[in-house]
Amino acid sequence: MLEGITLIMLLAHEQIELQTCAKEFAGREILPLASDLESCDQLKPSLVKSLWELGCFNLTVNEEFGGLGLGFVDQSLVLGELAYACLGVNQVVLSSILALNLLNSLGDQQQKKTFNQSFTDSLAGYDLNLSKTLDLNSLPVNVTAVEKNGMVEISGTIDYLTNAKVAKYFVVPARLDKTVKLYIIENNPVNIEVTRSYNTFGKRIHQVSGVQIKNVVIDSSCDLGTLDEKKIESFLTRSNLLYGISLKAALNRALDESVTYAQQRHTFGKPIKDHQGVTFMLSDMAKHVNISESILLNLASQIDCFKEDYVYSLNALSFVLQSIEAQALNAVQILGGYGYCKEYKVEKILRDIKTSVLELPRISEINTVIGQNYCQKNIL
């Protein structure tokens, strides 16, 4: 725990500048529009381009492939500022980041050169089951791949595809014989039909859809290789980090909104921040924000130092998930009846948090994996 706190105190000057730049951008371009974006189907291309220029998408991609070559601590700082401004916009970006991460973790040199350029100034998507499922053996893959004359034909269904209507490319798992492989496919409406759009309760801009894939033909350059247990755990470690950072930032925003209201609202001749019950709730929210940030930034530093720990990432995500909804509800309760009104932002924050949690494994599943892992390590 102390390592995480030390890390926060010792952020490099360049990292602080990067975070400040992201905060200023989010405060100028996203925060004022957050409520209006609830009714939008997609981000404006100009905003997507600006986010690319800021480095939000390819910040951890090596410079030789067009990225900034920075680390996951830097990625966490930037993504946190986007989530603080609007969790819906953040998750559109997060889906692209995770798709790019699959490409740059698993692809060969030529694939990285080709597709990183193709992804520029556009959105990407991936099969959300990759971050919802903790065990490769239970990963629901209803897409099949068939090799024909040096090409691969892909068909089937995906229950949850991110950025389904707007992404330029998708990274999807498919069964080839007895193995599960990952493929990059282009978003062509002729071959990819959206069969269901899920109600995200106001977070409409973040599209998660069921799709039918019909006879998509690709060549070997789109094959990212076989997905094994080690690869899925590496991906999940990064997914757990970035989802955790996003949820922590949303709770931080709820805390700030609550503090502002508690300073302005008066009852019995004094601001409600001076009432013990409100003080305790604010204290509890601040505690969870600070501890979550320490744990998550420590996880990010592990990844940057090539000492990533999948089980540690599950512990970090479990801590965030176990506290996030209850603490966000504290923010609503501090505002009383106003907490359920759209004029006050905590209503949207709580709603966004609840729908975001649905994109992750259940806490019971996470805790089962953690418990089993520790038992295996400590068998006498």
pLDDT tens digits along 268-322: 888 888 888 889 999 999 999 999 999 999 999 999 999 989 999 999 999 999 9
Cα 306 to its chain centre, rounded Å, is 21
CATH architecture of 229-377: Up-down Bundle (1.20)
Query: How does residue 173 score in pLDDT terms, banded at 50, 70 and 90?
Result: very high
Rounded mean pLDDT, 192-221: 85
Q: Which of 167, 178, 118, 119 is nearest to 144 (CA)?
A: 178
Cα 12 to Cα 20: distance, rounded to the nearest angstrom = 12
Q: Tens digits of per-residue pLDDT, 20-63?
A: 999 999 999 999 888 787 777 788 899 999 999 999 999 999 99
- Residues sharing a CB contact under 8 Å with residue 202, sequence separation 6 or more, in sequence order: 38, 88, 348, 351, 352
- What the block records as the tokens of 353 is 């948090």
Whole-number pLDDT of residue 7: 44
190 or 312, which is more confident? 312
> Any idea which fold 2-123 has?
Butyryl-Coa Dehydrogenase, subunit A; domain 1 (1.10.540)
Q: List the domain boundaries for the chain.
A: 2-123, 126-226, 229-377
CATH class of residue range 126-226: mainly beta
For residue 370, is pLDDT > 50?
yes
CA distances from 299 to 20, 128, 149, 268 (A): 22, 22, 45, 45
Contacts of 275 (CB under 8 A, 6+ apart): 267
Q: How confident is the model over 68-114, as pLDDT tens digits?
A: 999 999 999 999 999 999 998 999 999 999 999 999 999 999 999 99
Q: Is the pLDDT of residue 6 over 50?
A: no
Please say whether the beta carbons of 224 and 238 come within 8 A.
no
pLDDT tier at 379, thresholds 50, 70, 90? low
Residue 128 pLDDT > 80: yes
